[in-house]
Amino acid sequence: MPEARKSARGSAKAFESQVSERGFDWVGKRLPNREAEMKAAGEIQYVDDLRMNGMLHAKLLLSPHAHARIKKIDTSKAEALPGVRALAHVFNTPRIAYNSAARFYLDASDFDMPKTEYIFDDTVRFVGDRVAAVAADDPFIAAAAVKLIEVEYELLPAAITLESALQGSSPQANPHGIDGTNLCGGRLAYGNANEEEVLTAIGSAARVFTDTFHTPRVHHGYIEPVCHIASYTRDGKLIVWTSSQNVFCFRDVLSTALNIPQSRIRVIKTVCGGAFGGKLEVMHEPVAAVLSMRTFKPVKLRLDRRETFSSTRCRHEGILTIKSGVSSDGTLIAQHVSSSLNTGAYAGSGPNTVGAQSGKMFILYRAEKMFYSGASYYTNTPSAGAMRGYGCPQITATRETHTDRIARELGMDPVEFRLRNVVRPHEKNCMGNDMHSALVAECILKGSREFAWKKRRLAAEKTREGKSRLGVGMDIAVHGNGWYPVYQDLTTVTIRLNNDGSATMLTGTHDLGNGSRTVLAQIAAEILTIPPKDIEVVEADTDVTPLDLGAQASRTTFIGGNATILAAKDLRDQLIEEASRALAAPADRLELESGWVIDREDPGRRCSFVDIIGAAQAGKRGDQRELASTKTFESKDAVDSYAAVFCEVEVNSETGAIKPLSIMSVHNSGKVINPLLFEGQVHGGIHMGLGYALSEEMRIDPETGKVTNPNLKAYRMLKAVDMPDIRVLTVEDPESAGPFGAKSIGECATDGVAGAVVNAVSHALGGAILDRIPLTAEYILSKLRR
Amino acid sequence: MDEQDRVVNFTVNGAPTSLRVRRAWTLLYVIRDVLGLTGTKYGCGAGDCGACKVLVDGKPRNSCVLPAYNVEACEITTIEGLQKSGELSILQRSFVEAGAIQCGFCSPGMIITGTALLATNPEPTEGEIREAFSNNLCRCTGYVKTVEAIQMAAARMAPLTGDSRHPHAKGSQGSGDA
């Protein structure tokens, strides 16, 4: 890091300590999401609520086949329909390869970012793949027109299931598969020793355990369907409004796929009606753009719910095998994980999700030797992509159910086994990395106490014979704070002081409804002493805000918050410098207080922000200048957030039905900036994790490749009546690298839920080995009958 | 006039409305795309998620599956119709303060359902609240703060009696003896 930046960071951290010692005015406050009133009133506008003059409506024609070559497309009947304005398909659209999950413009690695997608291709690779699109005067005409498009297909052999795609004899789902197989990108394999050594260490331990676990393909289930508006004007400018998590990458991909310079593309993030990773990757924006380029009119493309299931993204289905060698006293000696993820028809984020999953291997448990080996595989099914947890829920459910089995077979309490083996703060993990404030053991201890773990566990064990059987289980989870040390991770924030002493902040941060704008305003308010309501936060617009790398990797509060501190502190220093001249007082005696700069030793000597800003612009004591600051934060700390999840369930031994009764999630996320929003994140994460464990699965017909439950009735997300009692606790030790001590919560909120539920159900079934989720009633009955 | 068109008369948020509607139009399409009231959301188009709920003669209905043909003489209230003179209703305010709103896409439908619940059952139990939301899906909140918002609103409305028991009365400041 350059010296200047290093010292700026050092002084920012020292300053943060001063602020926190003074006592917080805004950090730690339960402020409602700043968009909440507009949302409650029904007045805020999501992308589907935007209306533009002359706007056309688009509809996609989606493939009915899992794998087929398009021989011919006849659009004459569709074109003849009054009100149809444009048609696009592979034979009239530029065919330039891209990867919809691209992270950096220079991403070109065939290993982890293969470019396998086109706006339209001459081959369709899953039921729901794009074949053609129509833009028309209204959505009814567009829907009628796509039905009039005649397509001649040549059917190709398909690889539908992950199990079949793994076989060497399988048809290739995508020609980019390595060496004629379905391997996507490459296999990632690494550890702190070579694979043979790790397997040998496992084999020579006193006890050896092996388990294989299957995790399902699930959907994000955001309530706002995918929707985009693209408007291309005659001056060559393309503007895209979309409910996106990553506008700068969208600009990269649009620029690549359409061959338009980035200066002529503007991507604007609209108010987001839920994303959870599902709006991180470019979806159908290029199609809306192509249709607008042909008509010079704004084109809206909104998917219906069926299309939202078949033709967006989903979580990678996984099959993971884990082996552990354990000493007789319950010490984990060595561990090996082998993972296969289903990336669907296109590469997207497949290899990168494997990479993110691998990282979780080494930061939860201590062991002398650990090795991870994983890969993603193409299948002729809907593309997988980013989803809250990003590879972590799969490995956590696998490892944590395996961990419970080890404890059970050793006759140890699962809490005791974990306490013996988890990483400790500030120690080096097996890879030699500093574990920072990894307070996972404290989460376990606090949770087991507050949940009355032993008492409830014993009580549950007295219900093994009846119809209604109780089970109590727990697990632990970990998630990062941004990309460091795997990739660069930076963001830039600009804060300007307005003439009346209020402030406007420009940030590439994306608020997905979780309240990121509220949190960043609280952080800036703490330093500038301007109330959050007087700080505007302008988010994610490629022509307006500075660069950001998107709402992913649980990076928003950690990275965006740190950048906010740098810019706000710089502005504070500017205010004090100006005031020091005006008041003829030394700068180190001056402090900000509610819109004034005051002399600490003589509080009557003061200068208002308004006067300082005005004087600076007038050049009264130097150059004429605007008080504004733009600062880039670069992450140089690999920091992790931890959780311990405790759960009680009731299993009906006659029907196999599971009712979650209570769940407690204990989080080590450093200092919590906004507890109201923090709790909201955990509540939602628990909902998503419970669905993952109990009811959710995108079911794919193994013959046809069709999603058989593409609606919100059959795709069973939990309803209000299905939810257990929920408690959220924190172990709130500030993390020095975090903004005012904060660490992430978004993904850690969901990572550990499913494993805790499975362990509780296994407990209710007297220690049955459960090797897949969701735990459907049929599956539970099959275990009960044994 | 197309043979399949029909003139339908109804009120929306108190305003008498007369529209020529097509057979294919749902009430949701009329509300959002014809009348421009975009507070009511399209979430699934199948009556599964509740994001499109409006009050039809006081009852919460999924407007995405209700043919516009069928609302003759109905009184329709959308999310925009719950505020009065710019003031949010007690329930809308409770949703804000309880933190029940994250992405907010389900919120209009949730608030419509909650408004109907409190109108018929001013002191619902937690179970009754959860049951009332059996046709409203939320992906952000786990329903925790949604339930709290209803309880908060019920408590604020409880001291109010008779005419003052109005969704816009000033919550707990009202007197039981008013």
Q: What pLDDT was estimated at residue B168?
A: 65
Q: What pLDDT was estimated at residue A108?
A: 78
Q: What pLDDT was estimated at residue B159?
A: 83
Q: Are B53 and B63 in contact (CB under 8 A)?
A: yes
Q: How far apart are CA A315 and CA A150, in angstroms?
A: 33
pLDDT tens sequence across A47-59: 999 999 999 999 9
pLDDT tens sequence across A516-570: 999 999 999 999 999 999 999 999 999 999 999 999 999 999 999 999 999 999 9
Q: How far apart are CA A271 and CA A510, in angstroms?
A: 9
Nearest to A712 among B49, B97, B140 (CB): B49
Nearest to B102 among A302, A513, A726 (CB): A513
Whether A40 and B104 lie within 8 Å, measured CB to CB: yes
Residue for token pair 């010692």: A21
* pLDDT band at residue A6 under the 50/70/90 scheme: confident
pLDDT tens sequence across A414-469: 999 999 999 999 999 999 999 999 999 999 999 999 999 999 999 999 999 999 99
Three-class SS state of A778:
helix
Q: Is B34 on the interface with A (CB under 8 A)?
A: no
Q: Is A617 on the interface with B (CB under 8 A)?
A: no
Quote the percentage of chain B above a pLDDT of 90.
Answer: 86
Q: What pLDDT was estimated at residue B178?
A: 29
Q: Which residue of B has its CA nearest to A717?
A: B137
Quote the percentage of chain A above a pLDDT of 90.
Answer: 96
Q: Is A512 on the interface with B (CB under 8 A)?
A: yes
Determine the distance from the C-alpha atom of residue A209 to the mean position of all C-alpha atoms in its chain, rounded to a whole number: 32
Whether A723 and B41 lie within 8 Å, measured CB to CB: no
Q: Is A713 on the interface with B (CB under 8 A)?
A: yes
Q: What pLDDT was estimated at residue A40?
A: 98
Q: How far apart are CA A246 and CA A281, in angstroms?
A: 7
Nearest to B48 among A32, A45, A711 (CB): A711
Whether A723 and B108 lie within 8 Å, measured CB to CB: no
Nearest to A721 among B45, B102, B134 (CB): B134
Compute the nearest-CA separation of B138 from chain A (Å). 7
| Residue A628, beta-bridge partner list | A496
Q: Is B101 on the interface with A (CB under 8 A)?
A: yes
State the virtual CA torsion across A557, A561, A563, A565 in degrees, nearest 10: -170
Contacts of B102 in chain A (CB under 8 A): 33, 274, 513-515, 680, 684
Tokens representing residue A6 in the block: 């290093």
Q: Which of A49, A56, A223 to mutate to test the interface with B (most CBs of B within 10 A)?
A: A223
Distances (CA, A) of A387 to A241, A553, A678: 22, 10, 19
Whether B102 and A687 lie within 8 Å, measured CB to CB: no
Whether B39 and A276 lie within 8 Å, measured CB to CB: no
What is the mean pLDDT of the segment spanning B51-69? 98
Whether B99 and A49 lie within 8 Å, measured CB to CB: no
Question: Quick one: which of A226, A65, A67, A81 has its CA closest to A147?
Answer: A81
Tokens representing residue A168 in the block: 């060497």
Contacts of A224 in chain B (CB under 8 A): 41, 43, 103, 105
Question: Quick one: which of A604, A515, A596 has its CA closest to A560?
Answer: A515
Question: Quick one: which of A631, A484, A481 has its CA closest to A564?
Answer: A631
Q: Is A272 on the interface with B (CB under 8 A)?
A: yes
Q: Are A141 and A81 in contact (CB under 8 A)?
A: yes
pLDDT tens sequence across A262-274: 999 999 999 999 9
pLDDT tens sequence across A640-689: 999 999 999 999 999 999 999 999 999 999 999 999 999 999 999 999 99
pLDDT tens sequence across A337-350: 999 999 999 999 99
Whether B105 and A46 lie within 8 Å, measured CB to CB: yes
Tokens representing residue A221 in the block: 């289930």
Q: What pLDDT was estimated at residue B174?
A: 35
Q: Is A660 on the interface with B (CB under 8 A)?
A: no
Q: How far apart are CA A320 and CA A336, in angstroms?
A: 10
Determine the distance from the C-alpha atom of residue A761 to the mean position of all C-alpha atoms in its chain, rounded to a whole number: 27
Predicted confidence (pLDDT) at residue B113 exceeds the cutoff of 50: yes
Q: Is B83 on the interface with A (CB under 8 A)?
A: yes
Q: Is A393 on the interface with B (CB under 8 A)?
A: no
What is the mean pLDDT of the segment spanning A751-773? 98
Q: Are A751 and A393 in contact (CB under 8 A)?
A: yes
Question: Quick one: which of A5, A11, A34, A47 has its CA closest to A520?
Answer: A34
Compute the nearest-CA separation of B110 from chain A (Å). 10
Residue that wins the pLDDT comparison between B4 and B39: B39
Q: Is A82 on the interface with B (CB under 8 A)?
A: no
Predicted confidence (pLDDT) at residue A7 exceeds the cutoff of 90: no
Nearest to B88 among A30, A37, A276 (CB): A37
Whether A719 and B145 lie within 8 Å, measured CB to CB: no
Q: Is A153 on the interface with B (CB under 8 A)?
A: no
Is this complex scored with an ipTM above 0.85?
A: yes
Q: Is B41 on the interface with A (CB under 8 A)?
A: yes
Q: What is the CA radius of gyration of chain B?
A: 17
Chain pair A-B, CB pairs under 8 angstroms: 178
Contacts of B49 in chain A (CB under 8 A): 223, 305, 712
Contacts of A41 in chain B (CB under 8 A): 39, 79-80, 83, 88, 92
Q: Which residue of B has its CA nearest to A515?
A: B102
Whether A686 and B142 lie within 8 Å, measured CB to CB: yes
Determine the distance from the C-alpha atom of residue A126 to the mean position of all C-alpha atoms in its chain, rounded to a whole number: 24
Q: What pLDDT was estimated at residue B161?
A: 59
Q: Which residue of B has its CA nearest to A710?
A: B44
Lowest mean pLDDT among A654-658, B117-121, B151-155, B174-178: B174-178
Tokens representing residue B71 in the block: 């609302």
Contacts of B137 in chain A (CB under 8 A): 221, 223, 712, 717, 719
Nearest to B48 among A40, A683, A712 (CB): A712
Q: Which residue of A has its CA nearest to B90?
A: A40
Contacts of A713 in chain B (CB under 8 A): 46, 48
Question: Beta strands A207-215 and A183-191: pairing type?
Answer: unpaired
Contacts of A223 in chain B (CB under 8 A): 41, 43, 49, 51, 103, 105-106, 137-139
DSSP string, A329-387: TS-EEEEEEEEEEEEETS-TTHHHHHHHHHHHTTSSB--SEEEEEEEEEE-SSPPB---
Question: Quick one: which of A132, A149, A131, A140 has its CA closest to A82?
Answer: A140
Whether B103 and A304 lie within 8 Å, measured CB to CB: no
Q: What pLDDT was estimated at residue A2?
A: 66
Q: How far apart are CA A108 and CA A404, in angstroms?
A: 41
Q: Which of B12, B65, B103 to mutate to test the interface with A (most CBs of A within 10 A)?
A: B103
Whether A684 and B24 lie within 8 Å, measured CB to CB: no
Q: Is B111 on the interface with A (CB under 8 A)?
A: yes
Q: How far apart are CA B101 and CA B124, in angstroms?
A: 21
Question: Quick one: which of A378, A383, A223 has its CA closest to A313?
Answer: A383
Residue for token pair 């539908």: A160
Lowest mean pLDDT among A331-340, A726-735, B131-140, B164-173: B164-173
A43 burial class (0-12, 13-18, 19+ CB within 10 angstroms)? middle
Whether B39 and A222 lie within 8 Å, measured CB to CB: no
DSSP string, A446-506: HHHHHTTHHHHHHHHHTTSSSSEEEEEEEEEEEEESSSTTTS--EEEEEEEE-TTS-EEEE
* pLDDT band at residue A1 under the 50/70/90 scheme: low
